[in-house]
A and B are shown apart, each in its own frame.
Chain A
């Protein structure tokens, strides 16, 4: 009803012809943007999945997959993604819940620390890690799994923010109080109220973390570990078609992960409408929902 009073589509004051001109300009911009976004994708698919005079073929991909290091490197990347994500959740969910409940005064500090990785380029972290651990724990960087904590650091800004927003939206103090008044023990509240309500933001954080770790190259290659992106570069040296095919697939996977994320967060937004509005009135904190759009509002892609 209110929409009738102030119609969303109205372009006040823009004279009679302007809306049509504006519409055409917007359509043109969108068309150009979509073409440019898609060109590299289409090209990599076409380049990777065809051969001159042969049409569509999986030959190039096949060659890459037959490579003996394909499977181990892919699997180590998948393991790294899963481990980093799991470890991030295990570290951050309890910490954030505890701080929100018992020590909200610590939150500004932890939040400030969580964005420090923004200003530390991945390559700088490699250099520092090399220098520090070579002296302190010489064997540490040998294992591929030593990448896990660094990936946790690199994904921290996004993961922290997503989880923090989810917890803020819940007003867990009130939930604990209400639940306790109904006779629940804190453990029951945690298991039956808090964690189920945090599922969406934990899922969002996990998708982001996975998407970023799967494409990470700088740390892995410079710390001399074999991951999938490193494998792609090796393949790319002499098999550009195979590299294109793999690139296409990995972009599509990233795409799907991030699309799943925005789908999940849209669902959450719809569900938790009232909770969000109370938060917005009570707090002036920038409300961060974990759509990729807003997520990236302070992001630098980690894979670059």
Chain B
């Protein structure tokens, strides 16, 4: 590390002049120096990110030392297909519901003016809540709406209705509910810049041209907003699809989700071969990459508009 710091500083003095008039040799030197300078970073990622993922993908196509699609094909066995379907359903549900609610929250955050402190309070709590998750959030929800939870007991004593009987935390719906705790604020935080980029002049120009509020929303606001909306929904989807800790702490093995299944395989609770566990992971990566890739495409498009 220190070696590299020295290289950076040593190079610094010559930088401005070298940049202005790059001769062929200088340019070649610059390219070599660039690779050298980035080397620690690239090596680090190669060893701790690329190699593990590559190994995983490689392993999922290897059975008994030779190339095979057998492991990947097993993903379609009912039990595993069900896990994927269940996870996709959970992700669609929390992305959809979280998306709608988050959009409403984002709208309120983007347009509210008057009590500034209230807006700022909600904004900062949204920012933090969108980052929460994991074990702590799971236990907090157990304390709130679990069998002995505070809210559960309150509702029980007030109405006699048992919340925890209707919504069990250790179930698909329970997990979905807890995911919404971070999905909604995440959506709001993601959409806030897009709302901010909707310029006031657009609505005023549209109205001056004779548009009604409805036509403005239909012709101008919605077409401009949909790429960022879909993009944010895709991120929410991926977010929910790859979440492990929250679901595990809530439900353990009681819900058939891909991340939990993988967790069991890795920790050896379930006996299986490496190749199939790797195949599950590969399947998961494919889905997440697809969602995030699509999001990047949409983002590129809306960046062109919303500047």
B134 CB within 8 Å of chain A: yes
Q: Is the interface of A mostly helix, strand, loop or mixed?
A: helix
B254 CB within 8 Å of chain A: no
Interface residues of A, CB < 8 Å — how many? 115
B74 CB within 8 Å of chain A: no
CA gap between A255 and B242 in the complex, in Å:
23
Surface stretch bound by A, among B46-54, B78-86, B218-226: B46-54
Q: When the two chains form their complex, are residues B245 and A27 in contact, meaning their CB atoms are under 8 A apart?
A: no
CA gap between A127 and B122 in the complex, in Å:
38
Q: When the two chains form their complex, are residues A128 and B52 in contact, meaning their CB atoms are under 8 A apart?
A: yes
Shortest distance between the CB of A161 and any CB in chain B (Å): 14
A169 CB within 8 Å of chain B: no
A200 CB within 8 Å of chain B: no
Given A13-B203, A176-B15, A304-B243, does the pair A124, B135 have CB atoms closer than 8 Å?
no
Given A103-B33, A132-B51, does the pair A189, B12 have CB atoms closer than 8 Å?
yes
A284 nearest in chain B by CB position: B307
Q: When the two chains form their complex, are residues A120 and B53 in contact, meaning their CB atoms are under 8 A apart?
A: yes
A232 nearest in chain B by CB position: B135
A23 CB within 8 Å of chain B: yes
A29 CB within 8 Å of chain B: yes
Task: Name the residue among B34, B111, B115, B277 with the largest chain A CB count within 10 angstroms.
Answer: B34
Surface stretch bound by B, among A65-73, A213-221, A270-278: A213-221
A298 nearest in chain B by CB position: B235
A296 touches which of B56, B189, B246 (Cβ 8 Å): B189
Shortest distance between the CB of B277 and any CB in chain A (Å): 6
Shortest distance between the CB of B130 and any CB in chain A (Å): 5
CA gap between A163 and B227 in the complex, in Å:
28
Q: When the two chains form their complex, are residues B245 and A131 in contact, meaning their CB atoms are under 8 A apart?
A: no
Chain B neighbourhood of A189, CB < 8 A = 12
Interface residues of B, CB < 8 Å — how many? 119
Q: When the two chains form their complex, are residues B8 and A153 in contact, meaning their CB atoms are under 8 A apart?
A: no
Chain B neighbourhood of A8, CB < 8 A = 113
Task: Name the residue among B119, B137, B149 with the largest chain A CB count within 10 angstroms.
Answer: B137
A75 CB within 8 Å of chain B: no
Shortest distance between the CB of B246 and any CB in chain A (Å): 5
- For window 242-292 of B, CB contacts with A under 8 Å fall at 242-246, 248-249, 259, 262-263, 265-267, 274, 277-278, 281, 284-285, 288-289, 292
Q: When the two chains form their complex, are residues B33 and A215 in contact, meaning their CB atoms are under 8 A apart?
A: no
Shortest distance between the CB of B110 and any CB in chain A (Å): 10
B170 CB within 8 Å of chain A: no
| Proximity string of chain B (20-43) to chain A, C-beta cutoff 8 Å, 1 when within and 0 when not | 000000000011011101101110
Task: Name the residue among B11, B13, B289 with the largest chain A CB count within 10 angstroms.
Answer: B13
- For window 109-153 of A, CB contacts with B under 8 Å fall at 109-110, 113, 116-133, 135-136, 149-150, 152-153
A91 touches which of B41, B149, B267 (Cβ 8 Å): B41
B128 CB within 8 Å of chain A: yes
Q: When the two chains form their complex, are residues A91 and B143 in contact, meaning their CB atoms are under 8 A apart?
A: no
Given A125-B53, A186-B10, A262-B127, does the pair A95, B37 have CB atoms closer than 8 Å?
yes
Shortest distance between the CB of A26 and any CB in chain B (Å): 4
Q: When the two chains form their complex, are residues A153 and B146 in contact, meaning their CB atoms are under 8 A apart?
A: no
Shortest distance between the CB of B153 and any CB in chain A (Å): 10
Chain B neighbourhood of A43, CB < 8 A = 140, 143-145, 149-151
Q: When the two chains form their complex, are residues A94 and B285 in contact, meaning their CB atoms are under 8 A apart?
A: no
A interface with B by C-beta (< 8 Å):
8-9, 12-13, 22-23, 25-27, 29-30, 33-34, 36-37, 39-44, 46-48, 90-92, 94-95, 97-99, 101-103, 105-106, 109-110, 113, 116-133, 135-136, 149-150, 152-153, 156, 173-174, 176-177, 180, 185-187, 189-190, 211-212, 215-218, 221-222, 224, 229, 232-233, 236, 240, 243-244, 246-248, 250-251, 254-255, 258-259, 262, 284, 286, 291-294, 296-301, 303-304
The 6 A-B residue pairs with the shortest CB-CB distance, nearest first, are: A103-B34, A128-B52, A121-B242, A303-B134, A43-B144, A47-B143
5 contacts between A and B (CB under 8 A): A109-B38, A149-B48, A186-B12, A244-B140, A296-B189
